[in-house]
């Protein structure tokens, strides 16, 4: 079946530009997560949604980062006034329910390069 | 900070069993051990998880020591497609998110 999809797969932005990254979770999955992965490192948690509710945004690095999931399905991660340090792969994951041991399934990621 | 320690890299011959160790000496009773892998330019892929008993699925086996302070992921017959970074993660049953990732082990399968 269809997995988690993300678009675009690659994004190049000039410093100061705004970008929007899209995540389509697996259909019916309640939980959705965003992670940031710098080159050569493991992913770092950014934010978590249960349906449309953003229950944790403690990992967002600054107020330039904003995420939404208005209808409890597709999610968008927006970065305003991009900086070079925002260059990373942004990963989206979803899980069926919100249970503590539920498996997270990841998309392929969006590689953001800020020039 | 990650709660696990893994060797940065390992090699394994194709067709042999790949044994990837993970140290989690500070693991608490309500924390699971998860393994994911990430093939180059792809998102992480779930492999297996366990609490205290050994687990096996179609991809791998997970052996957890009796004191739960370490574990080993076993890929029984490694193929070239198993070349990836393997992450060992501990996750509390009280938390439904917050996978905390370390740097993982880069496993290279050699022909």
B94, pLDDT greater than 70: no
Contact A45 B45 (CB under 8 A): no
A51, pLDDT greater than 90: yes
Reported as half-sphere exposure (CB side, CA atoms, 13 A), residue A94 has a value of 23
A94, pLDDT greater than 70: yes
In which residue are the tokens 């917050």 written?
Answer: B98
A102 part of contact set with chain B, CB < 8 Å: yes
Tell me what pLDDT residue B28 has. 85
Average pLDDT over residues A79-87: 97
Q: Write out pLDDT tens, residues B9-62.
A: 999 999 999 999 999 998 888 888 999 999 998 999 999 999 998 999 999 999
SS3 B80: helix
A75, pLDDT greater than 80: yes
Mutation test of the interface with chain B: which of A43, A98, A105, choosing the one with the most B Cβ atoms within 10 A?
Answer: A43
Pick the range with the lowest mean pLDDT from A16-30, A95-109, B30-44. A95-109
Two tokens, residue B84: 């990836």
SS3 A81: coil
């Amino acid at each position: 079946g269809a997995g988690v999809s993300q678009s675009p797969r690659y994004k190049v932005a000039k410093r100061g530009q705004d970008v929007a990254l899209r995540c389509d979770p697996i259909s019916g999955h309640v939980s959705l997560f965003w992670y940031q992965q710098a080159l050569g490192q493991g992913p770092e948690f950014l934010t978590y949604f249960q349906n449309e509710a953003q229950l944790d945004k403690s990992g967002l690095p600054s107020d330039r980062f904003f995420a939404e999931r208005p209808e409890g399905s597709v999610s968008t991660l927006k970065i305003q006034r991009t900086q070079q340090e925002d260059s990373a792969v942004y990963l989206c994951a979803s899980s069926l329910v919100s249970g503590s041991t539920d498996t997270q399934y990841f998309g392929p990621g969006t590689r953001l390069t800020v020039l | 900070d990650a709660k696990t320690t893994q060797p940065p890299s390992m090699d394994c011959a194709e067709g042999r069993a790949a044994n990837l160790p993970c140290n989690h000496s500070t693991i608490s009773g309500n924390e699971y051990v998860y393994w994911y892998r990430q093939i180059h330019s792809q998102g992480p892929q779930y492999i297996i998880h366990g609490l205290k008993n050994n687990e096996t699925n179609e991809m791998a086996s997970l052996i957890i020591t009796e004191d739960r302070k370490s574990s080993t992921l076993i890929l029984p017959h490694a193929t070239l497609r198993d070349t990836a970074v393997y992450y060992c993660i501990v996750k509390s049953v009280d938390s439904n998110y917050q996978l905390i990732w370390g740097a993982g082990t880069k496993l290279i399968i050699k022909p």
